[in-house]
Amino acid sequence: GGLLLTEEMPSINKYFSTNEVVSFSDVIELKEKVKYYLENNSEMEEIRERAILRSYKEHSYLVRAKNLVENI
């Protein structure tokens, strides 16, 4: 997986925290953040790793299936 850069939207906070994804409000900010994270690879990797761990822990097919069965 790679670093998730996403347009700012409240719904993303339902699934990931601010230290797991990078959001932007416009194209200029997106460009600045892309440049920043390309120059700060270790910080990008830390964010990416946190997002991957969260995805495996809370958003895998197995977890979704268990939640579905529990809520039926």
Q: Which amino acid is at 69?
A: V
Q: Which of 3, 30, 64 is nearest to 72 (CA)?
A: 64
Q: List Cα–Cα distances, 70 to 10, 60, 61, 64, 65, in angstroms.
A: 27, 16, 14, 10, 9
Give the pLDDT confidence score for residue 34 in this predicted structure: 97
Q: Which of 24, 11, 28 is nearest to 3 (CA)?
A: 24
Q: Which residue has the higher pLDDT, 60 or 25?
A: 25
Give the pLDDT confidence score for residue 19 in this predicted structure: 94
Which pLDDT band holds residue 59 (cuts at 50, 70, 90)? confident
d(CA 67, CA 72): 9
State pLDDT tens for residues 1-58.
Answer: 789 999 999 888 888 998 999 999 999 999 999 999 999 999 999 999 999 999 888 8
Q: Supply the pTM of this predicted model.
A: 0.78
Number of domains in the chain: 1
Range of the domain at 38: 5-70
Give the pLDDT confidence score for residue 15 in this predicted structure: 87
20 within 8 A of 2, measured Cβ to Cβ: no
